[in-house]
Amino acid sequence: MKKALLAATAVASALTASLVAAPAATASPASTGWDLPWTGHHHGRTSIPFTEATVTAGADGRFTLKWKAQGTKRVEIKANGKVVAKGGAQGTAVVSGLPAADRQWFDFEPDRGAGLRLADRLVKLEGAVNFRDAGGYRTTTGQWVKMGEIYRSDALDKLTAADLAKLQRLRVKNVFDLRMESERTAGPDKVPAGAKYTVADVFAGSGSFQALPKSPDEAVKAMVDAEKAMVGGEGGKKAYGQVFEGMERDRDRAVLFHCTAGKDRTGWANASLLTALGVPGDTVMADYLASNDYRKAANDAILSHLPAPQAAVYKPMLDVRAEYLNSGYDEVKARYGTFDRYLKDGLGIDARELKQLKKDLLVG
């Protein structure tokens, strides 16, 4: 029964993937104020003056740009090599009329210090709703996680030919499938031409699923237990070790990891990556919770087709909630004491490999 409950999240994910809706509009989740209990903030000097910078694409082709750059007087923002916005140390600009592109990139250039190259985090696809960039976040040391290097997603089995061509143009070279064998059989991955495909089954060896939760409380417990299994289970340690090793070794990125809904197994993979890179805990949590926004249309469609009692049980499994991710970090602390020790002893990523990963993925 315990093994069945641990994997209920995967069953819910499979249900989620049965309906593909249009990508939800990009939303900026509020900060939770949450942070890892065993890490502190270190505000050092940095060559990048931006403390905040975001690109948000609207449904009407407009882009909203926001920034804060300490110690600067002027910021210029370029798209396709042309200045599209100007402002002071802090500002907001709305840009429209740009030509269609797979991803629209913006270069934030301050009058002093290094600039940033950013895009909207969501990559819009016809056959996936939760495909997004892992980067674009600031670390506690003032560095930034590069965009266009690491991607996270929901299932790839419904990608269209146009989607696959877009991913090829985005240089997706290495795909890690975090799903179970039953999920992979029911919906085999479609990967861009030339990309390496690797199975990294998080729940491998956890047993088949024989029961689903019967109440909302049971569903919440199943999600919490599943998060702990991702950290402590042999399948999880091996799978996430494979992903980290792939990200560290692959100099010809981009790397993509995904599960079915792109929120739980994928959510822990991305939270682990951002934590390892030094992104603050409240930022990591906001990124994790963003799946609720990106998946809202798909999840609402599923719940609307279920009887109310059944919908009440399924909703906790379709959601991402702070208590789910926190239970993963609690398990890390209980088993390993520190996150670096989890990386080393759990995933096999030593200090040298972590240093190389930071060198490759951080700027500033």
Category of 63 on φ-ψ map: left (φ > 0), alpha (ψ -120 to 50) or beta? beta
| Other CB atoms within 10 A of residue 36 CB | 18
Strands 50-57 and 63-69: antiparallel
pLDDT band at 6 (very low <50, low <70, confident <90, very high): very low
Residue 23 scores a pLDDT above 50: no
What are 34-50's pLDDT values in tens digits? 344 333 333 444 599 99
In angstroms, the first-to-last Cα distance of the chain is 49
3-state helix, strand, coil in the chain (%, to 5): 40, 20, 45
What integer pLDDT is reported at residue 30 of this predicted model?
A: 33
Instruction: For residues 185 and 203, give the distance between their C-alpha atoms in angstroms, rounded to a whole number.
Output: 15
Instruction: For residues 235 and 263, give the distance between their C-alpha atoms in angstroms, rounded to a whole number.
Output: 18
Cβ distance 316 to 220 under 8 Å?
yes
Helix (H) / strand (E) element for 186: namely: helix 181-186
**Cβ-proximal residues to 157 (8 Å cutoff; 6+ apart), any chain:** 17, 127, 187, 188, 189, 190
In the three-class reduction of DSSP (H, G, I as helix; E, B as strand; rest coil), residue 61 is classed as: coil
Residue 10 scores a pLDDT above 90: no
* Placement of tokens 């930071």 in the chain: 358
CA torsion sign for 26, 27, 31, 32 is negative
Most confident of 4-13, 44-53, 320-329: 320-329
Instruction: For residues 194 and 165, give the distance between their C-alpha atoms in angstroms, rounded to a whole number.
Output: 11
Residue 341 scores a pLDDT above 70: yes
Let me know if 209 is a catalytic residue: no
What integer pLDDT is reported at residue 80 of this predicted model?
A: 96
Cβ distance 96 to 125 under 8 Å?
no
pTM comes to 0.88
pLDDT band at 207 (very low <50, low <70, confident <90, very high): low
pLDDT band at 2 (very low <50, low <70, confident <90, very high): very low
Cβ distance 261 to 157 under 8 Å?
no
Domains and CATH numbers, the chain: 2-24+126-363 (3.90.190.10)
* Pair of tokens at residue 138: 């600031």
| Angle formed at CA 262 by CA 252 and CA 207, multiple of 5 degrees | 105
One of 8, 156, 259, 290 is an active-site residue; which one?
259
Across 70-92, average pLDDT: 97
For a pLDDT cut of 90, what percent of the chain falls above it? 83
